[in-house]
Amino acid sequence: SAVISQKPSRDICQRGTSLTIQCQVDSQVTMMFWYRQQPGQSLTLIATANQGSEATYESGFVIDKFPISRPNLTFSTLTVSNMSPEDSSIYLCSVEDIGGSDTQYFGPGTRLTVL
């Protein structure tokens, strides 16, 4: 299974600012996924990031608010723009297992609090 790291692990930000979250994988993967987990809730997929192409966003999420970069096969960033307190959540990146086993592995998450 892939080993995934995220930076920062947590942050407290002011309303109106932006935060970029990094996700690093120890092996090359085709697809990377970004999820949001609001307090006490399940996971909601924000977007799917494929290297070399625009990210695909789920309903309710837009590129202007959550721009994503995927410059290579081991790295991706998610930016949370113009933050409001409603953006306070855990943001998780995940990758699907190499070889198409359908299994997704998750990073440790970034805990964001917006004041």
Partner 1 sequence: GNSVTQMEGPVTLSEEAFLTINCTYTATGYPSLFWYVQYPGEGLQLLLKATKADDKGSNKGFEATYRKETTSFHLEKGSVQVSDSAVYFCALSPGGYQKVTFGTGTKLQVIP
Q: How far apart are CA 58 and CA 35, in angstroms?
A: 10
Q: According to the binding rule CB under 8 A, does residue 58 interact with partner 1?
A: yes
Token pair, residue 11, equals: 């942050």
Which span (17-25, 65-73, 76-84, 90-98) binds partner 1, by CB under 8 A? 90-98
24, 48, 51, 113: which one binds partner 1 (CB under 8 A): 48
43, 51, 67, 88: which one binds partner 1 (CB under 8 A): 43
Write down the least CB distance from residue 16 to partner 1, Å. Answer: 27
Phi-psi region of 53 (alpha: psi -120 to 50; beta: other; left: phi over 0): beta
In this structure, what are the phi and psi dihedrals at residue 87, rounded to the nearest 5 degrees? -85, -5
Q: How far apart are CA 71 and CA 60, in angstroms?
A: 24
Number of residues that bind partner 1 (CB under 8 A): 24
Which span (19-27, 66-74, 77-85, 105-113) binds partner 1, by CB under 8 A? 105-113
In this structure, what are the phi and psi dihedrals at residue 18, rounded to the nearest 5 degrees? -125, 150
Q: According to the binding rule CB under 8 A, does residue 24 interact with partner 1?
A: no
Closest CA to 3 of 97, 89, 69, 68: 97
**Contact positions toward partner 1, by CB under 8 A?**
1, 30-31, 33, 41-43, 45, 48, 58, 90, 92, 94, 96, 100-109
